[in-house]
Structure 1
Amino acid sequence: MRFVFKRTFKRALVGIFGASLLVGTLSACAGRGGHAWGGPVNEQRAAEFRVKMVEKVGKKLDLNDAQKQLLVALSDALQAQRKALVGSSTDPRADIQALVAGAQFDRAKALALAEEKTKALQSQSPQVITAAANFYDALNPAQQQQVRDFMQHRGGWFRHG
């Protein structure tokens, strides 16, 4: 019994921390009111940004049309996962603030929020993993090395034009 409680408690803490981090990040981005590409983010602006990123990555990796389609599929899968994580919440920051609004931390609401985010991750992750694997596996060895180099240099592709 004691082991089950410890494991459940640890999972709950990790879930709450992960959900808090995720929601905090999303709310911080949403709270800015605008992004580097100008103006608040809506569906149309997000789609335009994804098209630009696909073009830029396609150019950097010298992708063919089939590879670009796989990259678009990956982008769509990531966007679907993001929407699932945000869920029905209109104000993620308010959801987190509501946990500490009273005299005591609202554990039930925190657990429900963590469970909601965990379910969203679990439901969307297979599609994201499949799309990422399909894209990566379609790259030739030189392109795969470029991706590995990019990941080691923390986004160096997009710093210099």
Structure 2
Amino acid sequence: MKPWIKKTLIGLTSVTVVLGGLSACGSRGHHGEGWSAERVSEVRGKVVEKISGKLELDVAQKQKLGTLADQIIASRTAFRGESADPRTELKTLIAGEKFDRTAAQTLLDQKTQAIQGNAPQTINALADFFDSLNPEQQKQVREKLERRHGWWGRG
């Protein structure tokens, strides 16, 4: 695999994990409630501002980062589907005497289609953002990924 493709996929995965993790965790103490659109928007804004500050992004770069964040949120929403509580889907698979393999396969197919359907747009948004960075900013991103810390972590 070419190095730039590998780096792009690693970067996409990292950004997805960061923003998806923020979105998926929910607010502390209220794990069953999920996040409102307002809360997701608030966290998105904070993450974009934090990354923008760390990388000293200009207006155009910040806009591309915002587009990437929006695409990741859209991908997460598509992956999550119409279910308000993903745990309920799992509970239905184990509710009977035997594990519902057919329903599990259907659920897996739906999730896989959601990922595949949104992946090209997400990769393009990530590529547009990364390509807009100057060499020093790209170096910062690579170093941050090497240290394997989040943008707001210890490193």
Fold match by TM threshold 0.5: yes
**Cα distance in 2 between the residues matched to 1:110 and 1:60:** 42
**Cα distance in 2 between the residues matched to 1:81 and 1:29:** 16
Q: Tell me the residue number matched to 2:138.
A: 144
**Cα distance in 2 between the residues matched to 1:40 and 1:109:** 24
1:102 CA drift (Å): 1.1
- 2:123 pairs with 1:126: no
Percent of aligned pairs sharing the same letter: 47
Aligned CA distance change for structure 1 residues 29 and 49 (closer, same or farther; 3 Å): closer
Q: 2:101 aligns with which of 107, 113, 137?
A: 107
1:128 CA drift (Å): 0.3
Aligned CA distance change for structure 1 residues 113 and 40 (closer, same or farther; 3 Å): closer
TM-score, length-scaled by structure 1: 0.75
Letter in 1 for 2:25: C
Contact 1:74 1:132 in 2 (8 A): yes
Q: Tell me the residue number matched to 2:46.
A: 52
RMSD, aligned CA? 2.5
Contact 1:34 1:41 in 2 (8 A): no
| 1:3-14 equivalence runs, <5 A | none
- 2:68 pairs with 1:77: no
- Structure 1 unmatched runs, 5+: 1-24
Q: Tell me the residue number matched to 1:29.
A: 25
How many residue pairs match? The answer is: 133
Runs of 4+ more than 6 Å apart? none
Contact 2:50 2:151 in 1 (8 A): no
Aligned CA distance change for structure 1 residues 156 and 99 (closer, same or farther; 3 Å): closer
**What are the superposed Cα offsets for residues 86-129 of structure 1, whole Å, 9 maximum, x if unpaired?**
10112210111211111111011001000000110011111100
Q: Tell me the residue number matched to 1:96.
A: 90
Aligned CA distance change for structure 1 residues 91 and 157 (closer, same or farther; 3 Å): closer
TM-score, length-scaled by structure 2: 0.77
